[in-house]
Chain A
């Protein structure tokens, strides 16, 4: 395959050309209660070409190998057109030339596990949840995704590498009269099967909470101090800050870039944030990105000060900053864009008890429920929460959404826990100027954190 791609690149008329070819295999087993909704092993393949010429860029995706040459020549011609229109010329930061294989070798390789065992494990967790009173719908899935990739560039890089991730996740719906509430929980997030085993207690707890939520109170709207659990805090750092550390989002937004110069003071001195794709035990772990740059650890915030950001070769050149190996695509239909690998808030020194006792009237938000960000504005939900009154945890609450402004909120982080955890479910949506790419290989982590003030949008 590498030879075939190298030969094709030889005919390109662009200044720089690369081709990525993928063969992907996805195993899905999904249930809704006792109904098997899907059991399938699907394959997909296809390629993606990128050309730079005269400071202009063009990209092309193809499904059939026979279409590669036609796509390549169209892409090269398009890059010339862009180059002829562009005023600020694009270039690529230099990177080492890689050749050979960079393949994963998990100890308990899920690809080698019998399908029947995967199926039985999923049913086992489902049955635990179905017996919880008030739980009416248990929708869950086993998913396993393996992507085998070949990447060749006109600079001489020619590599074969892969990505692998497994998950078991459930959405648990409970009902009491007209009140319907949901929680979700997911395990796995690695290339190793063992992380999916022996997780009964965690699923059960999330199921019981779904049932309790049907009689929980709704949250009043307003501004309050909050503690975020690890899951919520990791979504916060991913959504609110992480996306702004992806340099491609700043390329076309100079006003924002001015706010985010390296050395800018963003938070208090206790805050350290890092992106590290070399942690292979978290969902975003990988060895090399989709433009042939090795993954590495990048300090983003050091003692509250902006210390670095995530780059493509193009943005690293444009910003005159270090390469970071964060350029990734979710499939052959897509061009790589700058993505977080495993972003996390580094461990602090406070205990959870210290945080709770420091709050007179506030809330403890638990369990991520999706988030969204646009520039420095963010919103995300919590699966449930607890009231904190006079330094003590109180009643359970449902239907919580919080929002705020990144810069103000970073300054308002006043305590960081000593209990760093990585979420086991990846998942991040980003378009980056093109179609939405939903990346399962995106990890996030954090300890508990206390924020002095956020806006909570409750139902009351």
Chain B
């Protein structure tokens, strides 16, 4: 079907690209200890980009069943389109990555229910009075990209996810822990126990003093750092000349304890052999010991900056994204080099500080400039111990100032948003509390 559509497009246009994705998934969701629902999807999406006399045309639809409508929409779009300074991918070889497990595809719903029930019983023994929520899901994606330049890229992706959470009594926020793997896993005892440990920390509410203090960043909170930094090194901000890192290539921008790698090839969740434009992905350092080494480019921004795409064109967005979105520059799969500390050592070493597990309102910060101002979610630390959950606390700062002074990086590495991160102890950030 894809070949047929591509061939038909070449009768009308000079250059063409078809992106087609199918998704099949099932999830079971427990709410307040009870199985709330089973949800399943069998959905698809197709996007077509064409070039006619240098001009870009775009069309998208849900299935490949109606090529005529797609071709007409692309033709109408190309009539008005701007001239684009790039051709669609011509790549023919891609790194092989391990992103698929047949066992995940065949993983039965009954097993997911069984695992959730077991976790439920373990938590009920020690925290019977909370409102426990658990979601377990299996997802399968099949991405295919074909271009008139000869690219035929195809990847199967599976994910099995387990998330356990509960709202904190008397507060609005929840405590959660999760595990996500390409293939099915055994009962995630460490996740359930980690959840219980953190839930117990929430008993007291603490509002710290308003002052600068050390902040331990949980891997799941580091998306704020990652998004702010990736905006700074994105092709979009460079083209617009609004990146705060315009003239910082090969310069020290962060602490020498921070090495940030875009690593799509290691076998883990998020592995990709090619981006959403069919360009091979690359493993490379973005920041090495605090020095800015490279930028994120897709076909469009690469061409505008006189460089080639670095394989970072993805159909993502802070909100939204998806098949019908235009690719923009995103990291493929981030990795922060672990250090030699540990979360427990970091906590034990602080006389006063906070352990940040999340932030609310990140997207309304001026984050593309590195600025972060969020309601802090996490825990207060005093004299080497967690003293309770944060309440009425804000955190503000700028990653290009605050992450210049990193005291420690942990050995442990965990999955967060956009990649895998260790715990990072930042020397001092502005906390607004009492």
Contacts and interface: CB of A to CB of B under 8 A. Distances in A.
Interface string B368-394: 110101110100000000000001101
Given A64-B65, A178-B244, A434-B29, 16 more contacts: A35-B82, A38-B326, A57-B36, A57-B37, A60-B41, A62-B41, A71-B40, A252-B36, A253-B131, A254-B32, A373-B172, A399-B365, A406-B172, A433-B36, A455-B394, A457-B375
B58 A221 contact: no
Contacts, number: 246
A60 B364 contact: no
Given A35-B82, A58-B37, A180-B242, A371 B364 contact: yes
Contact of A377 (B59, B80, B360, B362): B360
Contacts of B77: 39-41
A205 B119 CA distance: 56
Interface centre among A44, A369, A370 (most CB of B within 10 A): A44
A377 B242 contact: no
Contact of B133 (A38, A252, A379, A458): A252
A253 B324 contact: no
A255 B172 CA distance: 10
A81 B167 CA distance: 26
Given A180-B242, A221-B396, A221-B430, A378 B360 contact: yes
A455 B364 contact: no
B58 A40 contact: yes
Nearest to A375: B172
A39 B60 CA distance: 12
Nearest to A37: B326
* Range for the number of chain B residues in contact with chain A: 35 or more
Contacts of A71: 40, 42
B73 interface: yes
Contacts of A436: 319
B80 A86 contact: no
B404 to A, nearest CB: 16
A367 B73 CA distance: 37
Nearest to A369: B364
Interface of B: 29, 31-32, 34-45, 57-63, 65, 69, 73, 76-77, 80-82, 109, 113, 131, 133, 135, 167, 169-174, 210, 240-242, 244, 319-320, 324, 326, 360-366, 368-369, 371, 373-375, 377, 391-392, 394-396, 398, 430, 432
A378 B430 CA distance: 19
Contacts of A275: none
* Range for the number of chain A residues in contact with chain B: 35 or more
Contact of B31 (A119, A251, A458): A251
Give 9 nearest A-B pairs by CB, closest first. A375-B172, A381-B364, A379-B361, A252-B31, A457-B394, A370-B364, A401-B373, A36-B82, A379-B375
Contact of A87 (B34, B135, B374): B34
Contacts of B73: 40-43
Interface of A: 26, 32, 35-46, 56-64, 67, 70-71, 74-75, 78-79, 81-82, 85-88, 115, 119, 136-137, 173, 175, 178, 180-182, 221-222, 251-256, 332-333, 335, 369-381, 399-401, 403-406, 429, 433-434, 436, 438, 455, 457-459
Given A377-B173, A401-B365, A136 B241 contact: yes
Contacts of B377: 374
B361 A381 contact: yes
Q: Dominant SS at the A interface?
A: strand
A75 B172 CA distance: 33
Contacts of B368: 180
Given A59-B39, A256-B167, A43 B172 contact: no
A458 B396 contact: yes
Nearest to A77: B38
Given A221-B394, A379-B364, A44 B62 contact: yes
Interface centre among A32, A86, A455 (most CB of B within 10 A): A455
Contacts of A458: 373, 396
A374 B174 contact: yes
A40 B324 CA distance: 10
5 contacts: A43-B61, A63-B62, A81-B109, A332-B43, A433-B133
Given A254-B131, A399-B373, A433-B29, A46 B62 contact: yes
Interface centre among B76, B113, B392 (most CB of A within 10 A): B392
